[in-house]
Chain A
C-alpha cells in the first residue's frame, strides 16, 4: 500500500513541474489525466483499506531535507516580508526560524514512522484529489481568459497541483515536524495564489493571509516544543501524542494544535484572510474554500478529538465556534457580493464542523464528516459557478442577478441547487446540522456538572439562532436566482464552454447522487471513518425505515418524501409551464414604479469589529485552559 500512497505525493509534484514547461494542448491533456489518476488512486485506496492504519517510514535523509526545506521556506517568507516592508510577516517568520533551530538541536532521535494513513486520511484524500482535480480542469478554461502572460497561466495551473501535493502530504503526516512543513507549504501556496493578480489589493491581502497563517505555524512549533520538553511525551508524532495523552495529562500541545487548525479555518479573529482571498481568480477561492486549506481545521480537530474530548480546551473551542457560527452568519447578511456571501457562509459552516469535531461523540463526528464532504462539493460548485457568472454574465452582486434565471437558466439552476444543498433536507449539510442540534441536546442531558449544562444550553441557542440567520441568508440569494418576469416564460439552457459545462455537470450529478445514496453512504463511508477517529465502533443500523446512528434516528421515508417535494419540486418549478392560463402583470397599486429587487440589506457592520475582539479572547482562553490543565 505504501508505494501507492507515496504516488499520491509524487505524482502531483511531477505534474506540477511538467505543467510549467508543457505547451497548452499538452497541459490540458496532462491535467485531465492527472486528475483522473489521482481520483482513481484515492478511491482505490479507500476501497481496499484494511482494518489497521498504514504506517511507513522514509529514509533518514528525508529528515534532513525536511529541515532544510523548512528553513528555505522561512527564508522565503522573511525575504517577502522585508521586500514588502511588512514587519508582521518577517517578524513571525524570524521567530519561527529561531524556535525551529532550537528545536532541531533538541529533537529526540528515535525509530518511528513519519507517515500514518488511517481512514481519516483516506477520506481526506478523496475529497482533496477529486474536488481539487475538478477545479484544476475548470481552471484550464478560466485562466485562459485571464489577462496575464502565458507563463503565469502555466504557473497558476502548476500551483494547483503543488497545493494538492501539499494537502495529500499533510493528511498523511504523522511526525509533527513534517506536518509543520506541509502546513507551511499550503500557507505559501495560498500566498502565491492570492497575490496572483499582482495588483495592490491582491498583494496586501496575500500578506495578511501570510502573517495570519504564520501564527498557525508558530502554534505547531509550540506544540512540538511542549511535546519534546514535557516528560512522558518525548517523540513529537500525532499517534504517539494521542496514545500518551491520557497518562501524561498535559493537554497544552493539543491546545496549540487546535489553534493552528482554527487559524487555517479562518475562525474569528483570523477570518480576514479568507475573506480577502477572493481578490484572486475564482478557482483559488474554490480551492481554498472547498477541499483544501480551510478543511485543515476540522481535519486537525478531528485528529486530536479523542485527546481533548471533555476537557476544558474542547469546551472553549466549542464556545468559540458556536460564537463564530452565529457571528459569521450575521456578518454575511450585510454582504451583497456573491463571493463574500459564500465566504462568510464557509466560515460559519466550518465553525459548525469544528464544533462537532470537538464534541467528539460518535454522532457528532459522523455529522462533522458529512458536513466536510458535502460542504466541500457544494462550495466548490458554487464558487466555480461564481466564476462563470463573472466571466460569462459579468455579474458579481446578488442584487444584479435577478435576470439570471432568464439569460442563464442553467447557471441559475446550479446556484439554486448549490444553495439548496446547504439548506434543504435531505442534503448532507442539512442532516449534519440536524444531527448537530440533536447530539448537542443529548450531551446536555448526559453531563453532570451544572456549569457544563448551562454552557451546552447556551451553545444550543447559538447554533439554533445561527442556523435561522443562515436560512434567511440563503433565502435571499435563492430568491434572486428564480426571479423572472412573465414575458419570457420559455427555458432554454445557455451555451457554455464544454469545460465549464462538464465540470458543472459532474459536480451537480455528484451532489444529487450522494444525496440519494446517503442511506448507504452513512454506514459504508462516513461511519468507518468516524470509527477510526473515536477508536471505537459507530453503531449504525437499519431499523425498519429508519437509520439509527448511536442514539440519533434518521427516518428515511420523510427524508425521501422531502427530497421529492423540496429540491426536486423547486427545480421542477423552474421548468413547469402551465398551458391555457392567461398571464397578468404584477400589481403595483396603480402606480408606475421602477422595479428594483427589494431585499433587506442588514447593516451589521457596527457589530462585526467586536466579533474580532471576542475571537481573540477565545484564543487566549484556549491557551490559558490548556496551560492550567
Chain B
C-alpha cells in the first residue's frame, strides 16, 4: 500500500467499495438461506430511493450528528488506509461511534436511547481488545504506525495468531452482526440509533455502515502483512465466517456480550500480547 495514488483512490472509493461488500453480503446470506437474494447493486438502488423521499428530521442537531458520524468515520478509514498511528486510528473510530451515540441520546426517543446505550456498551466490549492488538503490533514491529504492519515481510498472522482470533471474536460486535447485534436489534429496539433517521439524512448513517465494512476488513487485511494475496484470502474467509455466524446464531443480551468480550476475547488478546512481548513467536 505504498503507492500514494492507490491510497487516494481507495480513500475516495471507500464508501462505494463498502456498498459492494454490503451487496455481496446480502447475496451470500441469501444463498446460505437458500434464497436468491437481491441484486448485487441493491444497496445503491436503495441509496437512490432514499434520496427521493420527503425530508423529515426530529431536530437539526440530531440530523447534523448523523452527517458528522459519516464524515468522521470516513476520516478514520482514511488514516487507516494511509497507514497512520494505530492507537490514533482506534480512537478516531471510537469517536466517530461516539458521535452516533450522542445522536441517539439527543432525541427523546426511547428506542434511540436504548440503542445508544447499547452502542456504548459495545464500545466498552470491543475497544480494549483492539487497543491490546495495537500494542501487540507495536511490540512486533517497533512502531505504532499501521504502515509498518502493511510492510511486514513475515505475515502478521503467523506472528500474532491469537490476536487474529481475538479480532474475529469481536468483529460481530463491531459490525452489529448476530449473536452480538444488540445495539441495533430490530425486534427489540427497532434499529436503535438509526431509527429516527429517514430519507436523505438516513443516507449518511446508511453509508457509514458501508465504511465500517471497509474499516473492519482493512484490519483483517493487515494481518496478511506485505503479502497481499494472503491478506485477501483472510478477508474472504472472514467475510464467509461473519455471514455464516450471523445466519446460524441467535442474539444474546448485552450483558452476555460484554462478559464474552471481556472474559474471552480480551484474555486471548492479552495472552497474545504476552507472547509477543516475550518474543515466543
Contacts and interface: CB of A to CB of B under 8 A. Distances in A.
Nearest to B69: A569
Contact of A582 (B56, B92, B102, B138): B56
Interface of A: 402, 423-425, 430, 434, 437-438, 441-442, 444-445, 450, 453-454, 457, 460-461, 464-465, 467-469, 471-472, 475-476, 478-480, 482-486, 489, 553, 555, 558, 561-562, 565-566, 569-570, 572-574, 576-578, 580-589, 593, 595, 597-600
5 contacts: A437-B135, A479-B104, A484-B59, A584-B56, A593-B110
A581 B57 contact: yes
A469 B64 CA distance: 26
Interface string B102-141: 1011111111111011001101100110011001001100
Contacts of A482: 61, 102, 105-106
Contacts of A454: 274
Given A561-B75, A566-B72, A566-B95, A576 B61 contact: yes
B72 A598 contact: no
Contact of A595 (B110, B190, B266): B110
A461 B128 contact: yes
Contacts of A485: 59, 108
A613 B55 CA distance: 58
B68 A570 contact: yes
B123 A472 contact: yes
Contacts of B273: 457, 460-461
Contacts of B278: 450, 453
Contacts of B109: 586-588
A469 B91 contact: no
B95 A578 contact: no
B135 A460 contact: yes
B65 A599 contact: no
A480 B111 CA distance: 15
A580 B59 CA distance: 12
Given A471-B94, A471-B123, A574 B61 contact: yes
A173 B262 CA distance: 46
Contacts of A582: 54-57
Given A553-B85, A569-B68, A586-B108, A598 B128 contact: no
Nearest to B199: A581
A471 B90 CA distance: 13
Interface in B48-89: 54-61, 63-65, 68, 71-72, 75, 79, 84-85, 87-88
A442 B143 CA distance: 9
B270 interface: yes
B127 A430 contact: no
B98 interface: yes
A569 B142 CA distance: 34
B11 interface: no
B181 interface: no
A274 to B, nearest CB: 25
Contacts of A423: 98
A442 B116 CA distance: 35
Contacts of B112: 586
B198 interface: yes
B111 A587 contact: yes
Contact of A480 (B87, B105, B190, B195): B105
Given A464-B131, A587-B196, A598-B113, A430 B91 contact: yes
Q: Is the interface of B mostly helix, strand, loop or mixed?
A: helix
A595 B124 CA distance: 26
B102 A577 contact: no
B198 A475 contact: no
A573 B59 contact: no
B14 interface: no
B99 interface: yes
A545 to B, nearest CB: 11
B167 interface: no
B156 interface: no
Among A442, A558, A600, residue most surrounded by chain B Cβ atoms (within 10 Å):
A558
A573 B110 contact: no
A441 B135 contact: yes
**Shortest Cβ-Cβ A-B pairs, 4 listed:** A479-B105, A586-B109, A598-B113, A486-B59
Contacts of B185: none
Nearest to A460: B135
B215 interface: no
A461 B102 CA distance: 26
B205 interface: no
Contacts of A402: 108
B206 interface: no
Contacts of B124: 468-469, 471-472
A457 B139 CA distance: 11
B91 A565 contact: no
B60 A577 contact: yes
B128 A586 contact: no
Nearest to A576: B64
Given A434-B88, A565-B72, A570-B65, 15 more contacts: A425-B92, A453-B278, A461-B266, A461-B273, A468-B124, A468-B127, A471-B94, A472-B121, A479-B106, A479-B116, A569-B99, A573-B60, A573-B61, A578-B60, A586-B110
A553 B102 CA distance: 30
B277 interface: yes
B229 to A, nearest CB: 30
B101 interface: yes
Nearest to A559: B88
Contacts of A489: 59-60
A445 B144 CA distance: 13
Contact of A581 (B55, B128, B132, B142): B55
Nearest to B262: A465
A598 to B, nearest CB: 4
A583 B59 contact: yes
Contact of A445 (B71, B116, B142): B142
Contacts of A573: 60-61, 64-65, 68
B84 A555 contact: yes
Contacts of A460: 132, 135, 273
Contact of B106 (A457, A472, A483, A555): A483
